[in-house]
Chain A
Amino acid sequence: MLKKKKFIIGGVVLALAVAYLGYTGLSNAATYYYEVGELLAKGSAAYGENVKINGQVVTGSLQREEAGRLLAFTMVDTSGNVSLPVVFRGVAPDTFKEGALLVAEGQLLTDGIFQANTLLPKCPSKYEPES
């Protein structure tokens, strides 16, 4: 019976260790995910917080500066009503283009511009035609 106890204690310790890893991982890496409109509705409370926003890149708004290293564009809410200027410095994935649905991760700056650190375009037209 003593052995069984040892194994149970071992199992509990292991489970706690994994749970601890998961908990600290979550508290460090969790990011709120908003629609563009939801972020704007938060107003100044949203400044500086690391968030993900979901919307669409407005066709005709994309400007490439510094030979493509700085991108500036406008993201519009999926409802199409509110829009947000976004800047991104770095290399955008190939699937990023005007009209694409986009999840951008970054912070809203106090001047009302969203500074994106990563762009995750999701392109329903990628494997399947838009219907």
Chain B
Amino acid sequence: MADIGRISLLLALFAAVYSAAGFFIGAKRGHPGLVRSARNGVLAVCGLATIATASLVYAIVTHDFQLEYVASYTSRDLSLVYLLSTLWAGNAGSLLFWAWLLSIFSAVMVFQRRDTGRELVPYAGSVTMITAAFFFILLLFVASPFQRLSFVPPDGRGLNPLLENPGMFFHPPFLLAGYVGFTIPFGFAVAAMITRRLGDDWIIAVRRWALMAWLLLGIGNLFGAWWAYVELGWGGYWAWDPVENASLMPWLVITAFLHSIMMQRRRGMLKIWNMVLIILAFSLSILGTFLTRSGVIASVHTFAETPLLGTLFLVFIGISLLGSLGLLFYRSDNLKSDAEMESVVSRESTFLLNNLLLVGAAFAVLLGTFFPIISEAVRGVKVSVGPPFFNQVNAPIFLAIILLAGICTLIGWRKASVRNLWHNFFWPLVTVLAIEVFLFIIGIRQWYALIAFAICAFVLATIIYEWFRGTRARHQMKGDNYFRAFWGLIGSNRPRYGGYIVHLAVILMAAGVIGSSLYDASVEATLQPGESVRLQRYILTYDNIDQYETESKQVVSTSLSVYNSGHLLGQLTPEKYFHHNYDQAVSEVAIRSTLLEDLYVILVGWEDTGATSFKVIINPLVSWIWLGGIVFVLGGLLAFWPERRRPASPNDESGRST
């Protein structure tokens, strides 16, 4: 099977190079036959990459330990689902997964039915095929998943038990799919510059691709956050780890893009800026892969250091970044803005500000992540910055971005009058005041928390107010009942209302982050059975410790009774696993989750005397983050959902997103 895989990769490389050249030459010289042939080439690449992936999966499932990859990550005792997940557990496998996804996305892109932007497809196809060819070269010559060992080991090394978590099925593939997805908008951006079709065509063609990649990356990060939260030692739901940062940066940049394309479509502004954002997002997504593979920056995600792979990625980023920026420079004359800003107080300027802040935040994250390298190059000493830097810099920026989401909702396009503003802001501000008084009464006194919650409350109020006004207008105009009117309102402009729902999700998540980072509490205690520890209004009584063997591991299990002001709430059982064939202890934390707060208990250690130590943490509002995640997906899907097809007319408002 390994030979089939290797041969498929080699053929896929040829097919990708052929397609890339065929698209470019065919489109440039006007040979539709060549372009069609290149299109079929993409299909061939897709098929061959699928065969290569399938043959690796087959080798994994049938325990073909002669393959180095299979021997390194799997073992006979691994269950089928985790066997499948080892496809992306290692360096070579995840690169193959990447190339496979890219070939699928490319095939969908070139065969997709579209009303506009058809002329861009060949060039975009050329770009994605060049990218695919780069990955096939890596897979063939640098990090081959089909590398054979000179002997056949009886069993593999097995998967690190820390990775045996449902997060393993979702976090890596979603994240990778998000990264891969940025290639398509990048392809269209380059195509638009080559063909000088720099109007709305490429923006329309990439909006849903960018949205999809953004959604997948967001979901991947949320799964990662959840996984890191339930798994001890990965620093909680977000630790500003370099690799986390690497996925946050393109996400922030594409968030900016999803807003700024509305400026281009409505007002013909920010054309160069939009190009730059797409180029940045693509480069940052490759940079993220580079960071994980090269080992230049210490991270919990680091794969083995393969300097050659790192260098090749760096060269690839360099070429694509310089090439596309150079092209942008030559086309800058064609990218003049159609309109000027009319007023400082307008929706345009809130969009502009939001874009600057999002990119500013991405830049701050970039600076912090690469600071050790920068300082070593400039001053010869390695200086690293930790979470305090990222929190201190980004918290105010993110709060400002959230605040803008509220202000933007209330301000009209072009120019807003003061009278209008007062009218629009009145009810939301009243709501904020009411919520602030409530928070003050229940004991929230930190000024930072009060400001942050006020901003969240304000945005929440503006969205609900906006929906209420829209629903009422529909109710009055069409005579629908309120429920139908609301439903019709949402359906009338799905990108817009999907966007509002995503804003709601961001508020939920922000509230979760604010609550859990400003109001967490913890205590460590060493207890004998029967003894208790108190944290705020919880009392935890240590009942017993138990050890037992399973087929693959030894389990140390402890049990605690949890009381809240005298009432027994239930048992919590933090555990530790010791796997027989893998030198890695795994702490299973016990979490009691409510809407208000999580009680999080870690089993730290024990002695023969019976003394057992625990760490008990209260994390307020963490479940709001996961709740926000669900809302985020719903809003994103709503915005992504295809509009009904209809002939495009220049005055068609509903196809536009506001």
Contacts and interface: CB of A to CB of B under 8 A. Distances in A.
Contact of A26 (B295, B372, B385): B385
B364 A18 contact: yes
Given A94-B587, A95-B584, A130-B304, A22 B364 contact: yes
A24 B395 CA distance: 13
Contacts, number: 159
8 contacts: A7-B352, A22-B393, A28-B392, A30-B384, A68-B613, A69-B526, A69-B604, A94-B162
A73 interface: no
Contacts of A18: 357, 360, 363-364, 393, 397
A7 B344 contact: yes
Majority DSSP secondary structure for residues of B touching A: mixed
B522 to A, nearest CB: 10
B642 interface: no
A90 B372 CA distance: 27
B89 A127 contact: yes
B128 interface: no
B341 A122 contact: no
B300 A95 contact: yes
Nearest to A6: B344
A67 B605 contact: yes
Interface residues of B, number: 68
A47 interface: no
> Which among B341, B343, B382 has the highest number of chain A CB atoms within 10 Å?
B382
Contacts of A69: 524, 526, 604-605, 613
> Which among B91, B234, B304, B606 has the highest number of chain A CB atoms within 10 Å?
B304
Contact of A124 (B304, B341, B384, B602): B304
A60 interface: no
A126 B163 CA distance: 9
B85 interface: no
A28 B389 contact: yes
B518 to A, nearest CB: 18
Contacts of A10: 344, 349, 353
Majority DSSP secondary structure for residues of A touching B: mixed
A75 to B, nearest CB: 15
Given A26-B385, A122-B302, A93 B234 contact: yes
Nearest to B386: A29
B312 to A, nearest CB: 17
Interface in A5-53: 6-7, 10-11, 14-15, 18, 21-22, 24-26, 28-34, 52
Interface in B603-647: 604-607, 611-613, 615
A21 B342 CA distance: 30
A77 to B, nearest CB: 15
B84 interface: no
Nearest to A94: B233
B381 interface: yes
A103 interface: yes
